[in-house]
A and B are shown apart, each in its own frame.
Chain A
Amino acid sequence: MGKTFLLFILILSVSIPSSQAQKVNQIKGLLMDSLHNYVIQGASVSIVKEGATKLTKVSLSDNRGNFLIENIPENTPFKLEITHQNYEKSIRNFIIEKDQIIDLKQINLDFKDNILDDVVILPPVRINGDTLEFNADAFDLDTNAVIEDLLNRLPGVMVWGDGKITSNGKEIRNVLVDGKPFFGADHRIAVQNIAKEAVEKIQVYDTRTEEDKAKNKERTDEMNIVLKEDKKDGYFGKIGAGYGARKRYDGDLSFNIFSPKTQATAAFSSNNVNKRMNNIDQLLRNSTFKPSGISTDFNPDFQRSGITKQHVAGLSLQHDFQKIQSSQKRSLFKASYLGMDQQVVSDNNSLTNFLTSQANEAVNTAENTSASISENRNHNLNLNYDFYNDFFSLQIAPSFKTYHSNQNSSSVANYDYQTHQTESNDYTVGENEGDELNMDINFTKNRLGNYLTDKWIDKLQFNLRSQTNYSTNQNDLLRHSETINLTDNSINRSFQRKYIVNNKSFKQDFTLDMNDILSAFFINSHRLPNVRFSQKLLLAHAENDQAVLNDEHLTNSYLSYQSTFSKVHYMPAIKLSKDIYRQYLYGRFDKALTINVDFAALLVHEDNTSTLDYRNLNRSLNYLTPAISANYNYTLNSISNKSISLSWNKDVEITNLDQLQPIYDDINVINRFYGNAALRSPTKQNFSLTYDYINNIKLGYSYSVSLNATKLENEITDSIIYRDNGTREAYLTNMEKNVWRTSLKGQLSRPFKITDNQNLTLELKIDQSIGSRFQYIDQKEDESDNFSSANDFQLYYNWFDKIKFGTNYSINYYKLKSKTNENNNYSTTYQSTGISIGYSITKKWALNSNLNRISSNNKYYTDDSNVWNVTTSYRALKGNNLEIKFSALDLLRENKGFYINSNPSAYTAGTRNNLQNYFMLSLSYFPRKFGL
C-alpha cells in the first residue's frame, strides 16, 4: 500500500509541469496616455460577457503599458473594459475564435482632468503605491459567496488546499479585517464567514519598510480586508441540530456580532459524537458559513478513543481602544469565558508483553480489561489586555479556572509473571475539584532614540515577565481492590480504602531579559559582542494533606501524611553573541556567521517537610548549563533565506521526590514501584546540526533538515525484578555508562500551481531516531538497539468551486533489537492512509466523502480497519442560510479502535471503544447580516 501510494504521488508530482494548460485565445494591447505621452501602467483590463455586469477575467497593464488576457472562451461576445482611476473607461467589443490572438495595438485613454469632482469608480484591480488592491464589487460571484470564494478569483491570489493563501507566489502571513484581527488569529473565521458583498476591497502589501528591504529582511506579506462603509458592523452565526441512529446527536449554536471597535461571540455546542471543543476558536471554526460545502477536513472523531458527550458554552469579547489603526500602536482588550460539561465513557481490552531476561520465549504478560466513566465540569475565564506603542509593550492576562470531576472505573487484570497467575479486581470511585488563578504580566521596554545623543536608559532594551499561579485541589477517592494468586495465596489481598487529598500550591516565575546591553552604554558597540543578560527565578510552595482510611474509617499511618514543599530554582545566564564573519550588501544579500556562547547555571534548593520521615528532603543542587552554537545565515534580498546551525548544550533533569522516595501503596499488590533514594539527576549533552531553506518567491517553497545527537550521562532506567511469588517490583537506577541517541528530522512543503484555478500542495515530514536503550531485568543488564520512524505525507488538490481532494499517508515504525536476548526482538508498523474528496454537484448541493485506512502489525498482532464516511448537504433559501445535511458514517462498520504501544521494555496491543457506524440528519440555519 505504502509503495503504491508513493509511486502515485511521484507520478503526479512529476507530471504537473506537463499538465499546464496551453495559453491560447489571447487578447492583448498597449495602453497610452497620448495627451501626456506616456504608457499607462497598472490599468485594470477585464473582459465581461455581453449582457453581464461582472467580469469574467481581469488583468493589469504592466510597466510598459502592455496587457494580455489568455484562455478566453471561444465564440462568445465579450466586452473588454479598461479602467483606471485617472482615465475615462474604454470599452471594446470582441469575439475570439479558437487559437486566435487579437492584438488591439495601441489604445489611447482619455485623461479625467477633474477627478475630485467625479464619483470615483474603482477599477477591479489597481496598484496603489506598494499595495495591490482588488475591488470586490467587480468580481461576479454567487450572491452567497464569502471572501474565500472571492480570493480564488483574484488574479495572482491563490487559496491552497492546506488553507495557506499566497499572492503572486508570496505567502500571506497575516489576514486582518479593517486593520484588526477578526475573531482571533485564525484567518478562516474571516474568509469563510464574511460575505463577499460586504467587502469593499482587499489589499495585499509587504509590511517591510524601505529600510527593512534594504537590510534584506525576510518578506512579511499581509492582507487587509476593507469592509464597505455601511457593512462595518454586522452579525453572523449558526443554529444547527442533528440526530441519528444509535441516539447520536450533534448540535451547535453560535452568534457573533462586530462593530469597528468591538467583536463579541456567544457559542454553544452539544454532541455525543466525540467532538471536543476546548476553546472559543474551535467553537467558531465549527460553525463557519462555507457555502460551497466542500471540505477536505478529515473526520478525527473516529480515531478518538471512548465516547464523549460534551456540552460547552462560551462567550468572548474583544474591544479596541485604539482610535486609529496603526501597526506601531495597539490597545486591545479581550475577555473569554468557557464552561464545559463532559462525560467520557471508555472501555479497554489489552494485552501487555513484558520483555524477559530468560533465553526461552516465555514472556511475562498482563491482560487488562477496564471500563470507566468520567464526568468533568469546568469554568474558565480568561482576560487579556494588550498594549504597545513605540516605547514599550505590556500584556496583562489574568485567568481563573474552577473544575469538578467524578470518575467511576473498574478493571480486571490477569498477570502472568514467572508463570504465577494472579487476578486483580479494582473498583474506584473518585471526586476531584479545585480552583486555579493565574496572572501573566509581560512588559517589554523598547530601545529608544538614536545612538549619538540619548541616555543609556533610553537605549536599554529589556523584557520582564511575571507568571503567578495559585491553585487548590481536593481529591476524594474510594478504591476496592482484590488480588488473588492462583498458585500462592500468601499474597492474596483485599482492600477497601478511602483517600482524601488536599493540595494548595503557589508558583511564581520571574524572567528578566536584557538584550544587547553594551549598546546602551557604548556608542560604538558593534565591535563588541551582543551581551544578553537573562535571569529566571522560580519560587514554588505547596501544602499537601493526604488522609488514607482503611475500610473507610481506620487511619492508614503509612499512607497518611501532611507535607510542605518549597522550591527555588534560579537560572542566571549571560549570553554572548558575536558575528565573526559578516558580508552585507545593501539591497542585495546578507551573509553572517554568528557564534553564540551561553554561560548559564541552574541553582536549586528544595525542601520537603513531611510527617513521613523518609519523605523529608532538604537539598541544594548546582549545575552549569552552558551552550555554544554557530549559525550561518544567508539571505538573498526578497528571494530566499537559508541557514545552517551547529549547536551544543548541556542540560540536566532534576530528579523529583516521587522518583527518590515514592510512597508505595500496598493496594498495588502485583506491580510495586519503589524508586531509588540514591538516584542521581541525569545530564544531557545535545549536539545538533540544522539546515533551513525558504524560498519567498516560489509560492512559499520550504524545507528543513536537522540532525541531533544526544549524549546521556546517568540516564534513569528501570530495574525490574519478577519475584517468585508472581509480583513485579520496579526500581529506578542510573546507567553507569554513557548512552548516545541520534535523530534525523526533515520537513518539506512544496506548492504547485497547475492552472489559474487548480493547485496542489505537497507536504512531507520525517522523523527518524536510533539509539541504545538499557534496562535491568532481574538484575541483568539488557541492552537493545531501538529504531523509530514517524513519517507523514500530505497532498491537497484544489479545483476552485468544483473539487477539493486531499490525501495523507503516515507510517510509524518501531524496531527493537536486543543484544542480550533475541527472543525480545520485535518490530511494529502502523500505517494510516486517508483520502478525502469534496465535490459540488450544483451550487447548492455538495457531496463529501472520506476514507481512512489504518493498519498495524507486529509479530504478535495484526489488524486493519477502513472507515468510510459520506456526507451530502444541500443549501436552501435565497441566502443559502439553511443547510440540510445527511451523513452516513463508518459505512463499512470497521472502526475498531485498536492500538499498539511500543517501548523498550514492553509492548501493548489492545482495543478501545470508539465511535462506530451511524447515520445522522442535520439541519442548520446561518443567520448573518453585514451592515446593521
Chain B
Amino acid sequence: MKKIYLFLLAALFTHGLFAQEIHYSETVPTEEIRLALQHARGGYVDEIYDEIEYIPLETTKESTIQNIKRLWVTDQYFIILDAFGSQILFFDKQGKYIRRINKIPNCQSCKSVKLLFHDATVDVENKSIYVNISISVDKASIVKFDFDGNYFGAQPQFNDMNDFTFLKNSLIFYNSPRDLQDERNFTMLSVLDNDKNKDIISYDSLASVDDDEYSDNNRNFSIPSKQDSLLYFTRSYDYNVYELGKYGLNKVYKFIFPFQYTIPNDFIKNKEYNGKREKMLSEENTSWIGMLDYIRRHKNYLIFNAESYNSSQSNRFAYNLSTGTLLNFDKITPGDFNNNFSLGSDLNEYILASDDDYMYKSMMPSVLLQTAQDPKFNYTNDPDGKMKKTISRLTKFSNPVLVRLKIKGDL
C-alpha cells in the first residue's frame, strides 16, 4: 500500500500564527498556468453544456434541508451534509429521500447541541462517513457511520484537524493546531494506511501573519473524482494547486494571474505588511485574489473559485487542461435550451460536486419559481413536460434543487 505524507509547518504563538511556505522536491513536476481572468469565455447554456437537469430533492418533514454545505455523489446516492440542519441526508439519484443521520446513539450530551454535525468526509470506497461534531464523544470529535446509518463510534485518531478527506482507501488529513498555546512547530498532512505515515510536503515557518489575518478555511481539499484518483489541495495566499495522487504529490499547478489580481510575492513574508494584510485585501486592493477555493478536477477541467473582496469580480472558473480554454461560470447565460431558468442562486453559487459525467450545483427553489411566474415565461425545451412537472411541485419553501450539468469536453 502506498503511503503519502505531507508535512505542514504551522508555528503558532500566542500573538500570531506563522504562515507557511510549502516545500517540495524539484522532481515534482510543475506546470505554470497563466489565467487571464478578464478574458475567460462565456456563452449561452447550449454552447457550454450538453445536458442540464434540475433535480428537486424530495421535501418531507424528515428530509427538509436548511442548506447544502457539502455534496457527495455516489453510484447510488446524493449524500448531503446540511450543517445548519445538523444532519446528513441520503437521496437517490432521482432526488427521492432515503434516510438521514442526525443523531449519535447513546449520546445524551449530543441532544443539547444545536449544530452537532458541522462537517463531514465520505469514504466512498468503504461506504463510510466521518462526521466532525461540535462536542467530544469518548474524547473524540470525529465519529463514523456507514451509508445505512449504522454508528461505528468515535474516531479519536482524527482529532485536531482542519480538514480531511479520502483518496481511494487512504485517508488524508490536514492539521493545524487550534489551541493558541500549542507551540508545536509541525502539523501534518498525511495518509494513513496500516498506521504508517509518509511525508510528502514540508512547510517552513517564514513569516508572521497576525491571527486575524490568516483565514484558512475548511475547504482545503477537493473531493476526489472517482475517475482520476486525484486530490487537489489549496491554501490561503498561495496560488499553487497541489495535486495529490496515490503515490504522493503528483504535480503542482502554479496559477499565474494578471498583475491587477495578484498579491505581492512577499505578501506573507514581508513583516511590513503585518497587521495590514486584511486591510490591503479588503480595502486597498479588492481585486487581489486571496485564495483559490472549491478546487476540483472534472474531466479535463480544473474548476476553482478565485476569491477576492471585489464582489463584482467574477470568481468561478473552469480551466481546460487540454485546450487551455478558461471558462467563466458567471458569464453563462440561460437560454431556450434550459427554458431560460437560472443555473444557481445567490446562495451556493459554486460547483458542489462532480462525478465521472456531471457537475452538480444547488439552487433555491424561489429562483426557479420567480422565472416561471413571469407572465412572459414559456417552456421552450420541455418536450416530455418533465420540467413543467418539476416546477409545479415546487414551492418557495421546498428543498434546494440540484442542478446537474454535463459540460462539453471540447471547449
Contacts and interface: CB of A to CB of B under 8 A. Distances in A.
Contacts of A680: none
B64 A585 contact: yes
B40 A36 contact: yes
Contact of A213 (B333, B346, B397): B346
B60 interface: no
Contacts of A453: 178-179
A86 B328 CA distance: 15
A38 B312 contact: no
Interface residues of A, number: 33
A116 B134 contact: no
Interface in A1-46: 33, 35-39
Interface string B184-224: 00000000000000000000000000000000000000000
A214 B47 contact: no
Interface in B345-380: 345-347, 364, 366
A36 B331 contact: yes
B149 interface: no
A38 B260 contact: no
A586 B347 CA distance: 10
Contacts of B178: 453
A41 to B, nearest CB: 9
B178 to A, nearest CB: 7
Contacts of A33: 42
A260 to B, nearest CB: 16
Interface stretch (A125-133, A467-475, A770-778, A853-861): A125-133
A642 to B, nearest CB: 16
Contacts of A586: 66-67, 84, 347
Given A587-B347, A588-B364, A36 B39 contact: yes
Given A86-B38, A587-B67, A588-B396, A130 B311 contact: yes
Contacts of A36: 39-42, 328, 331
Nearest to B116: A524
B67 A65 contact: no
A452 B134 contact: yes
B274 interface: no
A104 interface: no
A324 interface: yes
B41 A588 contact: no
A584 interface: yes
Contacts of B134: 452, 523-524
A589 interface: yes
Interface in B158-184: 178-179
Contacts of B66: 584-586
Contacts of B346: 213
Contacts of B396: 588-589, 636
B334 A38 contact: no
B236 interface: no
A38 B397 contact: no
B264 to A, nearest CB: 16
A636 B369 CA distance: 15
Contacts of B39: 35-36, 111
B260 A116 contact: yes
Given A214-B347, A524-B114, A588-B396, A38 B67 contact: no
B137 to A, nearest CB: 13
A37 B312 contact: no
Nearest to B64: A585
B387 to A, nearest CB: 19
Contact of A38 (B112, B313, B333): B333
Given A37-B42, A38-B328, A214-B67, A588 B397 contact: yes
Contacts of B114: 524, 526-527
B333 A588 contact: no
A524 B113 contact: yes
Given A524-B112, A524-B113, A588-B364, A37 B311 contact: no
A64 interface: yes
Interface string B329-349: 001111000001000011100
A213 B340 CA distance: 25
B310 interface: yes
Contacts of A210: 347
Interface string A39-58: 10000000000000000000
A312 B22 CA distance: 70
B170 to A, nearest CB: 29
Which of B64, B109, B396: most chain A Cβ within 10 A?
Answer: B396
A271 B10 CA distance: 73
Contacts of B259: 116
B135 interface: yes
Contacts of A111: 38-39
A128 B312 contact: yes
Contacts of B112: 524, 526-527
B43 interface: yes
A324 B283 CA distance: 9
B279 interface: yes
Interface string A212-228: 01100000000000000
A324 B42 contact: no
A38 B41 contact: yes
Contact of B334 (A64, A214, A526): A64
A585 B399 CA distance: 9
A526 B113 CA distance: 7
A523 B347 contact: no
Contacts of A587: 67, 345, 347, 364
Interface in A461-479: none
A527 B331 CA distance: 45
Interface string A113-129: 00010000000000111
B179 to A, nearest CB: 8
A587 B67 CA distance: 8
Contacts of A213: 346-347
B241 to A, nearest CB: 24
Contacts of B47: 37
Interface in B302-331: 310-313, 328, 331
Interface in A584-643: 584-589, 636
B135 A523 contact: yes
A236 B34 CA distance: 53
B332 A129 contact: no
B279 A324 contact: yes
A39 B333 contact: yes
Interface in A120-162: 127-130
Nearest to A324: B283
Interface string A552-563: 000000000000
A366 to B, nearest CB: 66
A584 B312 CA distance: 30
A591 to B, nearest CB: 10
A129 B311 contact: yes
Interface in A447-464: 452-453
Instruction: Please provide the 7 A-B residue pairs with the shortest distance between their CB atoms, ordered closest to farther.
Output: A38-B42, A129-B311, A38-B331, A586-B67, A129-B312, A586-B66, A526-B114
Given A129-B311, A210-B347, 18 more contacts: A33-B42, A36-B42, A36-B328, A37-B42, A38-B42, A38-B333, A39-B331, A111-B38, A127-B312, A453-B179, A524-B109, A524-B112, A524-B135, A527-B111, A586-B66, A586-B67, A587-B345, A636-B396
13 contacts: A64-B333, A129-B313, A130-B311, A213-B346, A524-B113, A524-B134, A526-B114, A527-B111, A584-B66, A585-B397, A586-B347, A588-B364, A588-B396
